[in-house]
Structure 1
Amino acid sequence: MIVIPARLGSTRFPNKILCDIFGLPMFIASAENAAKVDDVLIAVDDEKTFKIAKEYGFKAVMTNQNHQSGTDRINEAVQNHGLKDDEIIINLQADEPFFECENLAKFKEFATKAILKNGAFMASCFKLVDKDSAQNPNLVKVVLDECSNALYFSRSLIPYPREKCETFRGHIGIYAYSVKTLREFCSYQTSYLENIEKLEQLRALTNGKKIAMMKIKTKSVGIDTAADLEKALNLFKDRSKF
């Protein structure tokens, strides 16, 4: 199942999930894309978004407005659906309407194997970016161990290039967990590093958990600001590109 946490009150870009994406509210465009791969549930925190989701025919559930992270919101959404502990839940952000279906399907396959067969606690993915792109604090960077598990995520430039380094790993904010590991994740207290960086995945690393990382090639643009939205709309104005 793909669950989309649709929080209306974004601090950097208020109400961004309602922005128009070629005739659709952004979170609905993300959901319609995801629905080509798996069942979709939208976890909302506002009556307005709940009503919109229903109008477009999506399953939606109202969640607490005070959740600290999208993962906490998703956990509330799935706990009352009677899912088995080994069911894989994919967390797709509401601001990823251009994430390719092919990559989403590949990620689902990767995550299922990594979590159910290889013992990973969570799974996520990354793309290679150049140094100029990596300087942007809105683009989270990740460094990996030799087995492609995450060592750390940061808004800062990591690794710091004391030696020549032209390529960095840009994190893509899509996650997967089993129902069981999702519940465990949400039982942990928010960590010091999570609060400092404002990155929820650091809660898992702080508790010694393994996050398996998948490398992908994508043209998708995560939308954190109005400028990101303008860039994405210009890039994908020919809808055949995604």
Structure 2
Amino acid sequence: MIVIPARLASTRFVNKILADIGGVPMFVKTAQLASKCDDVVVACDNEDILQIAQKFGIKAIMTSKAHDSGTDRINEAVKKLGLKDDEIVINLQADEPFFEEKNLSKFKDFTSQRINDGAFMTSCLKFASSEEAQNPNLVKVITDINDYAIYFSRSLIPYPRSRCDLYKAHIGIYGYSVSTLAQFCALTTKDLENIEKLEQLRAISSAKKIAMLEINSQSIGIDTIDDLRVAANKFGFKSTLL
């Protein structure tokens, strides 16, 4: 199952999940994409979001406004849905409306395999230029020889004491089993998470293994109005916000 956390509040881009993507709210566009690959539910914290989802024929479930992260929100939704412990759950961020269907299917298969092999959770990366990596809204990741994440940061990692032309850019998608999702939400190692505002650091701090899938993707995560403008130019859609 694919669960999309849809929190209305956003500091960098107010109500960004409602941003107009060619006449469709962004979280709806993301859900429509995801529904081509698997069953989808939107985990929301606002009645208006629930009603919009239902208007577009998308399954949605209300969750608490008090969650620290999207993963905590998804955990509540999964419990309400009564999914089995070994079922795979994909956490697709509401601000990834251009994540390719083929990559989503590939990631589902990767998650099933790596969770069975002992990974705690999974995520994705793609390569970015040194210029792109300067943007703090683009989260970077470094990995070990087995493609497990070592660290995530909004800063440049690795720091280029010598030439570094390509960086590994994190993509906002995660995979777990229902069981490891519950374990993640029970972790108390939140110091780094709170500093960088990156929830996956909770797992890293607890020495949990995050298996990373490298993909080729043209997707753009929409964190700011500038991201929306770049995406509109790239994918050729109109928005009432531009």
Band the TM-score falls in, shorter-chain normalisation: over 0.9
Provide the alpha-carbon RMSD of the alignment: 1.1
Q: In the alignment, which residue of structure 1 is the partner of 2:26?
A: 26
Q: Distance in 2 between matches of 1:112 and 1:214?
A: 12
Give 1:36-115 correspondences, 5 Å limit: 36-115=36-115
Q: Distance in 1 between matches of 2:192 and 2:163?
A: 28
**2:224 pairs with 1:225:** yes
Is the partner of 1:37 in helix, strand or coil? coil
Residue 11 of structure 2 aligns with an amino acid whose one-letter code is T
Q: Distance in 2 between matches of 1:99 and 1:129?
A: 16
Is the partner of 2:81 in helix, strand or coil? coil
Q: TM-score, normalised by structure 2?
A: 0.97
**2:179 pairs with 1:176:** no
Q: In the alignment, which residue of structure 1 is the partner of 2:121?
A: 122
Question: How much has 1:49 moved relative to structure 2?
Answer: 0.3
Q: Distance in 1 between matches of 2:170 and 2:151?
A: 11
Is the partner of 1:80 in helix, strand or coil? helix
Residue 181 of structure 1 aligns with an amino acid whose one-letter code is T
Residue 33 of structure 1 aligns with an amino acid whose one-letter code is L
* Count of residue pairs brought into register by the alignment: 238
Q: Distance in 2 between matches of 1:85 and 1:15?
A: 33
Question: How much has 1:190 moved relative to structure 2?
Answer: 4.8
Q: Distance in 1 between matches of 2:49 and 2:176?
A: 25
Give 1:185-224 correspondences, 5 Å limit: 185-224=184-223
Residue 63 of structure 2 aligns with an amino acid whose one-letter code is T
User: Are the counterparts in 1 of residues 189 and 205 from structure 2 also a CA contact under 8 Å?
Assistant: no
Q: Distance in 1 between matches of 2:237 and 2:154?
A: 31
Residue 227 of structure 2 aligns with an amino acid whose one-letter code is D
Q: In the alignment, which residue of structure 2 is the partner of 1:11?
A: 11
Q: Distance in 1 between matches of 2:164 and 2:25?
A: 39
Question: How much has 1:5 moved relative to structure 2?
Answer: 0.3
Identify unmatched segments of 5+ residues in structure 1: none
Q: Distance in 1 between matches of 2:98 and 2:125?
A: 15
Q: Percent identity between the aligned chains?
A: 61
